[in-house]
Structure 1
């Protein structure tokens, strides 16, 4: 999400430089649940992995800040070039994965969802920092970017992207069954659209390996959609790499 955060979120209790391009900061967790979310993030090494990806892939002109904690987000605030991830987002992901996955899969699902979100918000930052023209909805564009980076730069990136897609599906399933007016005029596509868009790119990246991934789609549309997904993946990967560091 691209928006301005409240300035009150800038009062940070601890700070560490994660890399030359990412300054990592934490707000103090509130309560046992937020403390557990904080511990999961710190002990997982995800911030080091994210920082390494930023160094490898994103041609930033300016270092950005990543803040955990607060009440808003996930979002990117362009006025201060800062990403915000509230602990509540991690707890929400834990809720969804604990309801739908075995206990030993929960934390990995949460971390994969978090990585996709970090890359999504970094995508917003990149659009602003290097002035990338976006023809269409920026939220969809940076969703695609996050998925492509996971597929092409992360070990087990396809499964990680599938886990992140599942989060969108879980959110959709827990919805009311209809959309209110505000959702139709919002910045994001509907959760189920984001789910299928992510799976589409995973399939397109390796149609043989993921031949059954899109089988939820009705048979009349499946063959055509598989062709579209292959084309979309190739096109989006080539287009985004015009603005990423050369491999």
Structure 2
């Protein structure tokens, strides 16, 4: 295995000098060496994106794990969270499947745009698995559907802490909705079968985005029937406020 660690280095402190400790990342990254060009391409997409920096920064301030959480790129199985080993496993072929799915949508005309969309979708996947790990680590009570609870975790982080996070949240339906994935190479992936977004869950993600800033996202529900659009606009600010406050209680402590 080739280890690429972002765990950080602790700095010694001495009372009279008043030195402060830098935040220490609590997620480490491991890259298994690629064995072919497709795997190398998948690895390059990760390393040339902002994913590692984003996950690292959030692990210093939002989801703090002790012991550290390890993310393995190039595993055989996954995406998956192994609670026994405190590991998230991401196969290279999953990243390749994401890229192919994004190509198949025909929405992204350039290779750079397709790579960015693939990185965005992978970031959502990682945050989703980190959400499951964080809930277990903090023994956070889950009332109702656990996947919807993790959707809330991911969306609040995207809106609060991630550059272009609102765009990524809105596009998550394009990446992971059950409807969109019907004819995709991703449709047989175990992660997608377990975690793919149902229409109801995706509408809830959009509701959180809208509720975070109704003026900015006032056109978000334009494609919805009038009665449904009005209902969403009435309810979503309250839903966002309650969800935001609830998750910040755990993410700020």
Instruction: Classify the TM-score, shorter chain.
Output: 0.7 to 0.9
Residue 48 of structure 2 aligns to a residue whose secondary structure is helix
| Residue 125 (structure 1) shift | 1.0
Please list the CA deviations of residues 152-204 of structure 1 after superposition, one character each: whole Å capped at 9, or x if unmatched. Answer: 111221112222232123x523417xxxxxx9xx8546533333222221111
- Select the residue among 123, 140, 150 that pairs with 2:148: 140
- 1:47 and 2:52 are equivalent in the alignment: yes
| Residues 137, 187 of structure 1: 8 Å contact kept | no
- 1:231 and 2:238 are equivalent in the alignment: yes
Q: Structure 1 pair 103/189, CA: closer, same or farther in 2 (3 Å)?
A: closer
RMSD of the alignment, in Å?
2.1
Alignment map for 1:46-195 (pairs within 5 Å): 46-100=51-105, 101-104=107-110, 105-169=113-177, 171-175=178-182, 188=195, 190-195=197-202
| Residues 203, 229 of structure 1: 8 Å contact kept | yes
Residue 26 (structure 2) aligns with: 21
| Residue 70 (structure 1) shift | 2.3
The range that moved more, 83-92 or 142-151, is 83-92
| Residues 73, 90 of structure 2: 8 Å contact kept | yes
Unaligned runs of 5+ in 2: 8-24, 184-189
| Residues 173, 197 of structure 2: 8 Å contact kept | no
Q: Structure 1 pair 225/122, CA: closer, same or farther in 2 (3 Å)?
A: same
TM-score by length of 2: 0.81
| Residue 31 (structure 1) shift | 2.4
Q: Higher relative CO (CA 8 A, sep ≥ 6), structure 1 or 2?
A: 1
| Residues 168, 194 of structure 1: 8 Å contact kept | no
TM-score by length of 1: 0.83
Q: Structure 1 pair 64/200, CA: closer, same or farther in 2 (3 Å)?
A: same
Structure 1 distance, partners of 2:219, 2:140, is 35
Residue 216 (structure 1) aligns with: 223
Say which one has the larger Rg: 2
Unaligned runs of 5+ in 1: 1-12, 177-182
| Residues 113, 167 of structure 1: 8 Å contact kept | yes
